[in-house]
Amino acid sequence: MKKTTSEQKDRLKKLNIKMRKSHSKEDRTIRLISHSKKRIEFNKKLSLFHSNERTKILKVLSSLPQNTYNQLYLDFRKLELIEPLTALHLVHVLNKYKYIDAKFKSRHSQSIVPRAVFTLLGLDKVFGLSKIRKNKHIEIVDNWHMFSGNNCDLPEDMQNHMLMIYQKFDDQTIPFKLVTAINEAINNVIQHAYTDSSNIDFQKWYALTRIDEKCIVVVVSDLGVTIPETAPLSILEFFQGKANKAKEVILGANLASLKDHSDSKLIQLATNLDTTRTKEKGRGKGFNDILDLVRRTDEFPEIEQVHTSVLSKSGSYLLQSNSDGSAKEVSLNKNFDDFESKIEGTVISWVIRLV
């Protein structure tokens, strides 16, 4: 092996000194900024599904209407993954308060994935982070597409995108159920979630999709009236005129105690009712179609698993198919308990894993 000359050693020594000085200066700057602000350090996964990270995310979002965002320093260094449902909720709330023109002080992730996601969804600007160059994007990020609207009509680019779902399957029952569920979710947002018709921003929905050879992911978000807030009325309408015994068997309690249920339990009950607040014929069918797909996954050889998630207010509801054709129905906390913190609006996601 060739020995290192004294000249080469000197060059390496000078280079190391220069790098240490550079890193030291950067670290000192970051320490000064973080000491003057409330530092929020995010872990590996940015997710509303985990209590600790959820608290941090909602602290950031609540700083916007409180006008305290300039007191925070966001440290994303450890971040490696951003959960899609969480990413869309972030985009939606930040868009709602875009008139504030908030600019956070932040430190970028050391991982390429979250940096690419921030750039793709336009979060880099509000977080005060540098954009990542297009040639550094990775395929898993480039497969994501975001859409939004303020009425029941899907934008033309989203309609064209939905056609890709049909092209993934020989059995057209699967994409029909999923696309119906997407349309139903958006219709429900416009017709039932928003009550303040004077502000167009409050009537906006967002959708995030990923379609590739391994899976199809769809997320729909709104910032309107939450499911736990509307569920008691929907349940009362559904059981109107039905026998009290049937009510108690299904609810596990009498109707007078509905409001004592957790948000998670109310989401579960509302999700499993074939009804809506207005009792319109055919309303709610789309969501029931996708739930049917979850419970009958074994009858569709082209799909391996279907997973539905709902977050609304402080509650959570998850329905996941098993390989034997059964389905597992849970909340993120034991016994359908709620999170301590609550989100604004409702976010629903569907994940179809392909064989």
pLDDT by 10s per residue, the chain, length 355: 455 567 766 766 666 666 555 555 555 545 555 556 799 999 999 999 999 999 999 999 999 999 999 999 999 999 999 999 999 999 999 999 998 888 899 999 999 889 989 988 999 999 998 887 766 667 768 889 999 998 888 999 999 999 999 999 999 999 998 998 898 889 888 887 887 654 555 689 999 999 988 899 999 999 988 988 888 777 776 666 555 554 554 555 555 567 678 999 888 888 877 544 444 443 344 567 788 888 888 889 999 999 999 999 999 999 888 767 778 888 888 888 999 999 999 999 999 999 8
Assess contact for 27 and 59: CB atoms under 8 A. no
What is the edge-to-edge ordering of all strands in the sheet holding 303-312? 144-149, 205-211, 215-222, 346-354, 303-312, 315-321, 327-330
Same domain, 198 and 231: yes
Same domain, 174 and 117: no
pLDDT in tens, 142-181: 889 999 998 888 999 999 999 999 999 999 999 998 998 8
Same domain, 126 and 148: no
Is 186 within a domain?
A: yes
Is 199 within a domain?
A: yes
Assess contact for 349 and 84: CB atoms under 8 A. yes
Assess contact for 327 and 317: CB atoms under 8 A. no
Same domain, 255 and 284: yes
Query: By residue range, what is the domain housing residue 254?
Result: 144-354
Same domain, 284 and 338: yes
Same domain, 223 and 315: yes
Same domain, 169 and 124: no
* DSSP state letter for 213: S
Model pLDDT, residue 90: 96
Model pLDDT, residue 50: 93
Same domain, 75 and 161: no
CATH code: domain of residue 47: 3.30.750.24
Q: Please give the model's pTM, rounded to 2 decimal places.
A: 0.82
Model pLDDT, residue 199: 57
Where on the phi/psi map is residue 335: left (φ > 0), alpha (ψ -120 to 50), or beta? Answer: left
CATH code: domain of residue 178: 3.30.565.10
Same domain, 240 and 220: yes
Model pLDDT, residue 1: 47
Q: What DSSP letter does each residue of 93-109 carry, written as one string?
A: HHHHTGGG----EEE--
Same domain, 155 and 291: yes
Model pLDDT, residue 13: 67
Model pLDDT, residue 283: 37
